[in-house]
Amino acid sequence: MNKIVYLVAAGLISCQAFALEITSDVNGPVTLVEPQLNMGALAPKIALVDAKFKPQDVGGVNGKVQIISTIESFDTEVCDIQTMKFDEAAKKLPDVEISVISANLPFIIDNFQNKHKVKGIKLLSSFNNEEFGKQYGVQVVGGELKGILARSVFVVDKKGRVIYKEITSNIDKMPNLDAAISAARNASENT
């Protein structure tokens, strides 16, 4: 009996060792869903909704290079800056489709879009489809921020493969947007 308890306990400990934990300056540690989407993997095609609840696909093969960025909320300063930098980058990347995604309700996205007059990128919500966060490995499943998406950026080539990935180790900090934009530009020019 002791051996069985030991094996079960050892199994639980080893499973937890693989969970990706990141942090938040305000909310402490948070745990992300497993498994993570790896470089070279096919980016899953997932239907999300825009500010008007209209379905929009991200990922998969769509004939364009894609930047897929996730943020915690369109109501935070860092997320605001990240989104606006991608909107500015879109002007110089006409062959790249850029999507910024949060778990916010579409009403929040609509307010953000009206306030900032965002035109070059898609602002999307995963509020009614947790599959996106699970498939991309960015769904927060533990900690005070459970239910939101971690801050990340993925670049997907025209064949639907992940060629760049960053999930920030601190949910409150910006990813390397220049590196993601550069990866997207290179993929767009070289295919």
Task: Name the amino acid, one letter, at 122.
Answer: K
Of 48, 58, 79, 150, the active-site residue reads 79
Query: Which residues, in sequence order, are bridge partners of residue 56?
Result: 48
SS3 track for the chain: CHHHHHHHHHHHHHHHCCCEEEEECCCEEEEECCCCCCCCCECCCEEEECCCCCEEEECCCCCCEEEEEECCCCCCHHHHHHHHHHHHHHCCCCCEEEEEEECCCHHHHHHHHHHHCCCCCEEEECCCCCHHHHHHCCEEEECCCCCCECCEEEEECCCCEEEEEEECCECCCCCCHHHHHHHHHHHHHCC
- 79 classed as catalytic: yes
Residues serving a catalytic function are 79
